[in-house]
Structure 1
Amino acid sequence: MKKLLLSAMILVAVTACKKESIITENTESTTGDSVTVPESNEISEAIIPFKQIELSPQETSEILAKKDNDTLYVTNFFATWCGPCMREMPHFKEKIKEMESQPVKFTFVGLDPKEDWETKVKAFAEENNLSKHIVLVDGQKLTPEFFPKNFKQWDGGSIPFTFMRKGDKTDETIGMMSKEMLDEKINSFK
């Protein structure tokens, strides 16, 4: 419990440091028992704690497999150390919010080294409110056979990589996607 509270306090402190603010120095010393709180139109989202869900290569193949329903499955392979992965992530976050009432499931497969799961991946997931969308795969367990078994184009040589599937129709994108490209690809499944 203490660890959870400490993590939440650190996350709040880090988040607060990122906000732009103007601080004016006041040299006068005043005493009083009231505090002025600035008004804000932002609605803060509750932080969903990150749970490490590790998938085996077989379980990863199962989430990529064809399903007999009308849901679009968008699976993005990423790592927190990957610059292009981080640059495209805001587009995915926007799409998640935009399509929350539609039959679309977004999954982010984290390929960070295992020693970074509890630190870097956890911080990224919670800071970006993606905790419920991220699963983890130990990249060292992905054999060369995994890639041609699951994909037509991707050989695991670079990330980000996004795989979309709805029934028999699939789409593979190697490399970073712009907002427009992501919109176009998702719309092609409608």
Structure 2
Amino acid sequence: MKQMLLILIVFIVSCKGNVEDLETVVVEEKTAVVEEAYNDIKLEIYDYDGLKPLINKEDDKLHVVNFWATWCAPCVKELPYFEAAKEKYEANNIEVLLVSLDFPKNYDSKLKPFMAKHNLKSKVVAFDDTDQNRWIPAINEEWSGAIPATIIYNKERRKFYERSFTQEELDNEIEAFLK
């Protein structure tokens, strides 16, 4: 019994360094996988002139455009609802566009890792235009510039929302457009 205990102690002591090394390798591998995932993300960046055609399409689709940022807690909370709506209403010819208002210096350090971590399926674009006095009222005259903000539109109707949604509220608004 003493011999078995001695072997166990020797095993534990000799493996301790290996376990720490193994943990380091695992963490490094996970970090490398996440970095690789977001390094492959191609992020389209638009000013207002480039974004304008994306938020004013005249086709047969229902468009849902959400303005958000990774630093905005209500925005992050509601993002899964937009992803679920994209999937739920896919047969209804819906297009979801997520317009990130993250700061350009954070595209690689925050936005792309967020997109990879949450495996966003909707199209995500970055919006970089410092002339808020031009583009905020151009998007909606009553918009204060606060986010989250959403536009839902099709050929016949357009509605702007300066608020966050629950899943049920978002579904109700989309369904009103589909009637």
Going from structure 1 to structure 2, the CA distance change for 1:152 and 1:139 (only over 3 Å counts) comes to same
1:127 aligns with 2:148: no
1:165 aligns with 2:156: no
CA deviation map 1:14-73 (0-9, x unaligned): 9xxxxxxxxxxxxxxxxxxxxxxxxxxxxxxx9994212101211111111141x22011
1:56 aligns with 2:47: yes
Supply the distance in 2 between the matched residues of 1:125 and 1:11 (Cα, whole angstroms): 16
> How far off its partner does 1:129 sit?
1.7
Which of 164, 180, 183 is residue 168 of structure 2 equivalent to? 180
Residue matched to 1:74: 64
Q: How does 1:1-190 map to 2 (within 5 A)?
A: 9-10=30-31, 49-67=40-58, 69-130=59-120, 133-140=123-130, 142-156=131-145, 158-190=146-178
Going from structure 1 to structure 2, the CA distance change for 1:60 and 1:10 (only over 3 Å counts) comes to same
RMSD: 2.7
**Aligned letter for 1:165?**
Y
Richer in helix (by share): 2
> How far off its partner does 1:102 sit?
2.9
Larger of the two Rg values belongs to structure? 2
1:48·1:131 contact (CA, 8 Å) conserved in 2? no
Q: Percent of aligned pairs with the same residue?
A: 27
2:38·2:113 contact (CA, 8 Å) conserved in 1? no
> How far off its partner does 1:78 sit?
0.4
**Aligned letter for 2:53?**
E
Corresponding pairs, count: 151
Supply the distance in 2 between the matched residues of 1:76 and 1:63 (Cα, whole angstroms): 12
Secondary structure of 2:92 counterpart: coil
In the superposition, the TM-score normalised over structure 2's length comes to 0.74
Secondary structure of 1:153 counterpart: coil
